[in-house]
């Protein structure tokens, strides 16, 4: 082998992994050879699109993933499908894998951990799985199983009232199923949601026929004949044909045990801003790894698609720069690209409505009080649509700096969250937002759109407080 060629092994072939592989080859052509090790049979798939496949909006499941052959044609890239990495040796620079032909050991100069997460299954469901009508959703195989299960079911219980459950609920309602959503906490869409929006979202769910049971803890699950019986603490019971659990995810990092790669408290890989782990030559990206939160500065897990793609790309670029420098005989330091902080900007559709949030929505930030300004704004002029309204919650510090934003209302409004994400990322205050010269024409918004109207309200509130000496 030409010794100037460096080997990159990417473990995990989805958003982070394939972004890294493609970027590394693009930035270091002829210098890097990339092996992608993927436990499943496909790479680069759209997990986010799966609920829309169930809803019938995507008719062919193959549209949700790339054709592996296309990647295989990339010079320097080798795909190892149906191959699982089982252990990592940072000293020998080897990764052991189990593939269709048995054990395979791959040597590497650089390695990227991009193994994502796996869904949590509650202990109360014990060994119940798809064969008994109990599902989780991660892979294309899972959504096909859920689709098949739903075809034979009249009723579905969604355990967990998070984003994925809301997306599945819409699909199942469209399929004519009786849907019940159950959560242990008094929130829908997670504890970061403002109580006003929780109440409104619950109403929106119920208006479409979803039964929402909050603050319920499942005590016992029994399979009796074809039905699943759930018993809650307090003795309330529920019978259903199938259950889909959407109660969170855990980083898929168990295979790193003994490797010396340092994991954070939730099990995600610790990284520096350049996506390097504590083990020489080993990088990490995507849901399996930590990010820095743009408001709190803390290391966090953030299982979302954009940070996964971006962190993979950044890692791939940095690996390429290091490999190029080694090939040219340049000694380090090499200038590396830093991953920008994340804000957890996320959104979810509910029929013609949507919820979106970004930043920090808690009550205390490093000891400082966060004020939540709640407003309802018209989305469109009354002469076009007098029902189009959106609720906005802005979370601000005493000096007016915006740290968080949430919106619930017209689907067309939801992407205004990006305006707030930019403002939070740049440390802007609400007065600056209010004074922004935004676009206006009747089909798009009212003159003071939902974003700047609430910012204006928050600015006035702060000024009044200041005038009162508070």
Ligand X SMILES: Cc1cc2nc3c(=O)[nH]c(=O)nc-3n(C[C@H](O)[C@H](O)[C@H](O)COP(=O)(O)OP(=O)(O)OC[C@H]3O[C@@H](n4cnc5c(N)ncnc54)[C@H](O)[C@@H]3O)c2cc1C
Structure token pair of residue 426: 């740049």
- Residue 39 CB, shortest distance to ligand X, in Å, is 4
CA nearest to 249, candidates 284, 288, 277, 221 = 288
What length is written for the chain? 470
Q: Shortest Cβ distance from residue 255 to ligand X (Å)?
A: 5
Give the nearer residue to ligand X in terms of CB position, either 164 or 403.
164
Q: Buried b vs exposed e over 424-461: b needs ≥16 C-beta within 10 Å? A: bbeebbbebbbeeeeeeeeeebbebbbbbbbbbbbbeb
User: Given the complex with ligand X, which of 303 and 400 has the nearer CB atom?
Assistant: 303
Q: Which is nearer to ligand X, 50 or 315 (CB)?
A: 50
Least separation in angstroms between residue 65's CB and ligand X is 10
Phi, psi (rounded to 5 degrees) for 164: -70, -35
Distance separating alpha carbons of residues 109 and 90, to the nearest angstrom: 10
Binding residues for ligand X, rule: CB under 6 A, are 11-17, 37-40, 47-48, 50-51, 84-85, 114-117, 137-138, 164, 252, 255, 286-288, 303-306, 308
77 or 288, CB closer to ligand X?
Answer: 288
Q: CB 469 → ligand X: shortest distance, Å?
A: 43
Tell me how far apart the alpha carbons of residues 401 and 178 are, in angstroms, rounded to a whole number: 44
Task: Give me the least distance between CB of 119 and ligand X, in Å please.
Answer: 8
Minimum distance between the CB of residue 69 and ligand X, rounded to whole angstroms? 17
Of the pair 13, 90, the CB lying nearest ligand X is at 13
Shortest distance in whole angstroms from residue 217 CB to ligand X: 24
- How many Å separate Cα 55 from the centre of its chain? 20
Q: What is the DSSP letter of 337?
A: P
Residue 180 is given by DSSP the state E
CB nearer ligand X, residue 16 or residue 394? 16
Q: Please, which residue, 104 or 305, has the CB nearer to ligand X?
A: 305
Q: Cα(240)–Cα(154) distance, rounded to whole angstroms?
A: 8
Beta-strand (E) ranges in 68-216? 77-80, 84-89, 94-99, 102-107, 110-113, 117-119, 134-136, 155-159, 178-182, 211-213
């Amino acid at each position: 082998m030409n010794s100037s060629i460096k080997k990159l092994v990417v473990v995990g072939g989805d958003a982070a992994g394939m972004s890294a592989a493609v970027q590394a080859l693009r930035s270091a052509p002829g210098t890097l050879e990339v092996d992608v090790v993927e436990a499943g049979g496909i790479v680069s798939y759209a997990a986010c699109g799966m609920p829309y496949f169930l809803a019938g909006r995507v008719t062919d499941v193959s549209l949700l993933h790339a054709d592996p052959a296309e990647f295989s044609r990339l010079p320097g890239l080798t795909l190892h499908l149906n191959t699982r990495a089982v252990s990592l040796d940072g000293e020998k620079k080897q990764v052991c894998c189990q593939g269709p032909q048995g054990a395979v050991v791959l040597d590497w100069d650089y390695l990227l951990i991009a193994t994502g997460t796996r869904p949590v299954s509650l202990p109360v469901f014990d060994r119940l799985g798809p064969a008994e009508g109990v599902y989780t959703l991660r892979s294309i195989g899972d959504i096909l199983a859920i689709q098949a299960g739903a075809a034979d079911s009249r009723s579905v219980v969604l355990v967990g009232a998070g984003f994925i459950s809301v997306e599945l609920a819409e699909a199942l309602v469209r399929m004519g199923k009786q849907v019940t959503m159950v959560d242990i906490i008094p929130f829908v869409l997670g504890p970061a949601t403002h109580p006003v929006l929780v109440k409104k979202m619950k109403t929106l769910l119920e208006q479409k026929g979803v039964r929402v049971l909050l603050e319920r803890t499942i005590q016992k699950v029994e399979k009796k004949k074809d039905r699943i019986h759930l018993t809650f603490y307090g003795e309330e019971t529920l019978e259903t044909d199938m259950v889909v659990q959407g109660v969170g995810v855990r980083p898929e990092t168990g295979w790193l045990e003994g490797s010396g790669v340092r994991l954070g408290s939730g099990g995600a890989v610790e990284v520096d801003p350049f996506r390097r782990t504590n083990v020489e030559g080993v990088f990490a990206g995507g849901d399996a790894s930590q990010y820095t939160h743009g408001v709190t500065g803390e290391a966090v897990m953030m299982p979302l698609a954009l940070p996964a793609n971006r962190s993979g790309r950044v890692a791939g670029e940095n690996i390429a720069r290091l490999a190029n420098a080694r090939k040219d005989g340049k000694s380090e330091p090499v200038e590396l690209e830093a991953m920008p902080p994340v804000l957890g900007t996320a959104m979810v559709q509910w029929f013609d409505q949507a919820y979106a949030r970004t930043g920090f929505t808690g009550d205390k930030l490093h000891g400082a009080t966060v004020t939540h300004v709640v407003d309802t704004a018209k989305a469109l002029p009354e002469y076009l649509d007098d029902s189009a309204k959106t609720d906005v919650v802005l979370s601000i510090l005493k000096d007016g700096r915006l740290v968080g934003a949430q919106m619930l209302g017209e689907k067309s409004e939801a992407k205004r969250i990006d305006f707030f994400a930019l403002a939070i990322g740049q440390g802007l205050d609400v007065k600056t937002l209010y004074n922004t010269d935004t676009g206006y024409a009747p089909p798009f918004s009212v003159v003071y759109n939902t974003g700047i109207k609430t910012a204006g309200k928050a600015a006035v509130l702060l000024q009044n407080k200041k005038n009162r000496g508070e």
